[in-house]
Chains A and B, each alone.
Chain A
Amino acid sequence: MGLEHQLPEVLTTRLESAVGWARKHSLFQYPFATACCGMEYMATASSRYDIARFGAEIPRFSPRQADLLWVVGTVNHKLAPFLRRIYEQMAEPKWVMAFGVCASTGGFYDNYATVQGIDKIIPVDCYIPGCPPRPEQVIDGLLALQSKIQAEPWMKYAYEEKAKRRAEMERSGNPLFTPIDGQET
């Protein structure tokens, strides 16, 4: 960037909200559907609830073309590396939606196999409770995420903030953001 410093403040905020508006209504999603919640994901996407009304209808089955990752269902330790890899393959800006309690916290699968919430592997922007969530809950979650995207500063801070956060986490020894060994993203 650089151009934004030349522009008057009013214009940049206008532009910012315009970009936020455009972004929130054109979410290309990658459904990482694993379990029961996938059924409700299908229900949300099909005729009765029709997620297309919110500009989020097209599932992109390539992470590089997607900017919203739905983690739909339980993630276990066997699957965790794949989820992490998909997240890393997605281009910025990207958002993650934890769909259902298993993805959010592990739910009642508190055992050797499951990851206790995907926020231990990747950062999460929105949690949708329910096991599985009703489509109404999903739509509510999507709307909440949309307002978050709208409010997200784009031009001035977004990238700098994220980079700062990452650097801080790495410094603090949090392996959340260190890349997996020997893996190109």
Chain B
Amino acid sequence: MSKKLIDFVAKHFADEVLDSHSRLGNDTVVLKRDRLPEIVERLRDDESTAMNMLRAITSVDYLNRIPRFEVVYVLYSISKKHMLTLRVVVEEEDCTAPSIHHLYGAAGWMEREVWDMYGVEFDGHPDLRRVLLYEEFEGHPLRKDYAKQASQPRLDLLVRERDSVEEFNVFYKSKPSEGSRDS
């Protein structure tokens, strides 16, 4: 895999690059946050890169690491058939990243999803609503410190906490005790 794309970013935005590597067929550049839209726009419009498709935006929560979050952008060029992964570091206290919704249509919903799941705010996004969860939901479920089973019912439901051991016990107590067959 050639490192053409990494070199391109390093050449034009040397100050922004924190780290870069090419591993397992993925070229990755770790960037500072603030000039991201500029870099992405350059990558999209320059003829030698022509990254015209945004494949995915996601975030990774490295709990107990500073900076805690990383927002990952996967760019692809349909004509040149090459791919570049940009990783942007985001602090926990200032959990924002610049929005690139004006560059790619797809970014609008992807950023909404990252906001929904990780709580990373995107500056300049016109419609930053929850997309998969509902408005009443508090917190961001894919953060590592959000408990897996902490549900927030919309109805005032009878919510039985699931406890499989207890379920089995209830089942067993309801039956007369029976001697095991083979002992």
Assess A/B contact in the complex (Cβ within 8 A): yes
Partner of A81 from B133, B154, B160 at Cβ < 8 Å:
B154
Interface residue? A131 (CB, 8 A): no
Which A151-185 residues have C-beta < 8 A from chain B?
Answer: 174-176, 180
Complex: chain A residue closest to B135, CB-CB: A78
Partner of A176 from B133, B134, B152, B158 at Cβ < 8 Å:
B158
Residues on the B chain within 8 Å of A112, using CB: 141, 146-152
Range of interface residues on chain B? Answer: 10 to 19
Q: Let me know if B154 and A78 touch, CB within 8 A.
A: yes
Mark A95-133 against chain B: 1 for CB-CB distance below 8 A, else 0.
000000000001000111111100011000000000000
Interface residue? A84 (CB, 8 A): yes
Residues on the A chain within 8 Å of B1, using CB: none
Interface residue? A77 (CB, 8 A): yes
Complex: chain B residue closest to A176, CB-CB: B158
Q: Let me know if A80 and B152 touch, CB within 8 A.
A: no
Residues on the B chain within 8 Å of A180, using CB: 155
Which of A84, A112, A180 is packed against the most chain B CB atoms within 10 Å? A112
Partner of A80 from B146, B147, B153 at Cβ < 8 Å:
B153
Partner of B141 from A106, A113, A116 at Cβ < 8 Å:
A113
Residues on the B chain within 8 Å of A116, using CB: 159-160, 162
Q: Let me know if B157 and A121 touch, CB within 8 A.
A: yes
Are A78 and B162 CB-contacts (below 8 A) given A120-B157, A121-B155, A180-B155? Answer: no
How many residues on A have C-beta within 8 angstroms of the other chain's C-beta atoms? 19
Interface residue? B156 (CB, 8 A): yes
Docked pose: A84 CA to B157 CA in angstroms: 10
Q: Let me know if B160 and A78 touch, CB within 8 A.
A: no
- A21 smallest CB distance to B (angstroms): 33
Chain B interface residues (CB < 8 Å from chain A): 133-134, 141, 146-160, 162
Q: Can you list 24 A-B pairs, Cβ within 8 angstroms, ordered by A?
A: A77-B134, A77-B152, A77-B153, A77-B154, A78-B154, A80-B154, A81-B155, A84-B155, A110-B148, A110-B162, A111-B149, A111-B151, A112-B141, A112-B147, A112-B150, A112-B151, A116-B159, A116-B160, A116-B162, A120-B157, A174-B158, A175-B157, A175-B158, A180-B155
The 3 A-B pairs at the shortest CB distance, nearest first, are namely A78-B134, A112-B151, A116-B162
